[in-house]
Amino acid sequence: MGSKNVGDELEESLLENENEDGNETLKWRVWREMKLMWKIAFPSMLARVTSFGVLVVTQSFLGHVTELDLAAFALVQTLFLRFINGIILGMSSATETLCGQAYGAKQYHMMGIYLQRSWIVNIITATITFPIFIFSTPILRGLGEQEDISVAAGKISAWTIPYLYYFVFSFTIQMYLQAQLKNMVVGLLSASSFVLHVVLSWIFVYKLDWGVPGALGALNIASWASVIGQFVYIFGGWCPKTWRGFTTAALCDMWPVVKLSVSSGLMLCLELWYNSILVLLAGYMKDATTAISAFSICLNISAWEFMICLGFLGAACVRVSNELGRGNAKAAKFAIKVIMTTSIIMGVFFWIMCLVFGRKISYLFTDDEKVADAVSDLSVLLAFSILLNSVYPVLSGVAVGAGLQGTVAIVNIVCYYIIGIPLGVVLAYVVNLQVKGLWIGMLCGVVAQTTTLSIITWRTDWDLQVLKASERLNRWFLKPSDELN
């Protein structure tokens, strides 16, 4: 397969150039690593930017309907969808760790089994969280949100239930294909669904005047269209080495997968819920509708750019897990350096863009001058959030590739919930900095997390991680003849 040859070329080129001039060898290695990194990162960026883009487009269409719908969707998206997104994306990162290391170790048939195990775990998880979308209005009332926003959010929440189960398959399939360098199909399908969503939203909202049902109906149709395309790709025979059909072997050894999934879920949940809690706190301010709208617009801009950084997270995870699976600790460390440098360069570019166009961006989401003023007031803080986005996702990807999710979860608890949120509350309500205070607290938490993860990555014994990866894969390995079909 083409994807296998790219990985093999990297390894062969390193061996061929081992005895050449040091500078030339370094240039050759950097070029090879960059080539392999972008083969993973670009499709991942395309998929994540466009899949998140459907939410941004939905918010944009609703924002031009009424400010109340904009604020209500902001609550549903940042509290409920992000809550579930954090759980399922986090638990799906176990697939990323296992499939990446299995591919590096050439245990190809195990990847399909890991994928099926993740589907089982995630479907059960999504079903357990299902009632949140049914009882969203009373939940928001109980949290003290305004009555009109709570009622509007309840109507919107019911329409997002199909999107809940879209998460189950979208995340796991992307990580399964990404681990074997076949995620370009995911990027293309996601980009196509984004275009479909824009067209359907325009027809349903503007032409047919269906309002909220039209915008969210377009969201569900476009999102599921991409997942159906991914099923066709896998089941249609384009993954012959890693997909051998459904098997009851997926039901075996579930507990170790559940434990890794839970630690993975906790790691990313704590990160994604961080922003959700801050949006909830914004709802307690004097002008709650404006505060929530402005804060969520800034978070969406940051999150959309963050989707690009998640491409580097995916590249870091795949490269580290592949090399650990192969038993090559030096190649894993070299990959981390190349990916981190590239991500920081892109982060600086977007940091500058945000400083220049901070206020103008708000008019993509709203015509309300009060909201635009509030967004403009946050633009400098938004720019520095975007700059930090270029660093800590790569470090998180390294942790996922090595299976260190539990360690990162502890770091997130301390940095976000002991440092970031309490500081944000003090600055917002005691010092009276309002939304700006919340954002400063958020930034402090991210800085603490980034610093801590940098130290952990620097001090990690990668030769030891190679041994741990080998032990994990050997413990869960099933020979093809042992599968219970």
Say which residue, 236 or 389, is predicted with more confidence: 236
Flag whether 218 is in a domain: yes
Residue-wise burial string across 204-232, b where 16 or more C-beta atoms lie within 10 A, e elsewhere: bbeeeebebebbbbbbbebbbbbbebbee
pLDDT higher than 70, residue 18: no
Q: Report helix, strand and coil shares of the chain as percent, to nearest 5.
A: 85, 0, 15
pLDDT higher than 70, residue 4: no
Q: In this predicted model, what pLDDT tens digit does every residue of 430-450 receive, in sequence order?
A: 888 877 787 788 889 889 988
The structural domain count of the chain equals 1
pLDDT higher than 50, residue 139: yes
Say which residue, 186 or 8, is predicted with more confidence: 186
The pLDDT score that the predictor gives to residue 22 is: 46
288 pLDDT tier (thresholds 50, 70, 90): low
Flag whether 379 is in a domain: yes
Range of the domain at 340: 34-475
The pLDDT score that the predictor gives to residue 15 is: 36
Flag whether 392 is in a domain: yes
Share of the chain above pLDDT 70, in %: 83
Can you tell me the mean pLDDT for 60-76?
78
pLDDT higher than 70, residue 352: yes
Question: Lowest mean pLDDT: which of 196-200, 314-318, 374-378, 429-433?
Answer: 374-378
Distance CA 382, CA 224 (A): 32
The pLDDT score that the predictor gives to residue 2 is: 40
pLDDT higher than 90, residue 103: no
Provide the 3-class DSSP secondary structure of residue 274.
helix
Structural tokens at position 119: 């589907």
Distance CA 407, CA 410 (A): 5
Flag whether 6 is in a domain: no
Flag whether 29 is in a domain: no
pLDDT higher than 50, residue 7: no
372 pLDDT tier (thresholds 50, 70, 90): confident
Structural tokens at position 352: 């500058």
- Cα→Cα distances 261→17, 34, 181, 405, Å: 40, 30, 22, 9
Q: In this predicted model, what pLDDT tens digit does every residue of 148-167 receive, in sequence order?
A: 888 888 888 888 889 989 99
Distance CA 176, CA 3 (A): 13
Distance CA 190, CA 228 (A): 11
Can you tell me the mean pLDDT for 391-404?
80
Share of the chain above pLDDT 90, in %: 13
Flag whether 288 is in a domain: yes
Distance CA 343, CA 331 (A): 18
Biggest CA pair distance of the chain:
71
SS in 3 state form for 388-404?
Answer: HHCCHHHHHHHHHHHCC
In terms of pTM, does the model score above 0.75?
no
Can you tell me the mean pLDDT for 204-224?
89
The pLDDT score that the predictor gives to residue 51 is: 84
Q: What is the DSSP letter of 20?
A: S
The pLDDT score that the predictor gives to residue 95 is: 79
Can you tell me the mean pLDDT for 93-98?
76
Can you tell me the mean pLDDT for 410-426?
85
Q: Compute the mean pLDDT over every residue in the chain, rounded to the nearest whole number.
A: 80
Flag whether 361 is in a domain: yes
Flag whether 7 is in a domain: no
197 pLDDT tier (thresholds 50, 70, 90): very high
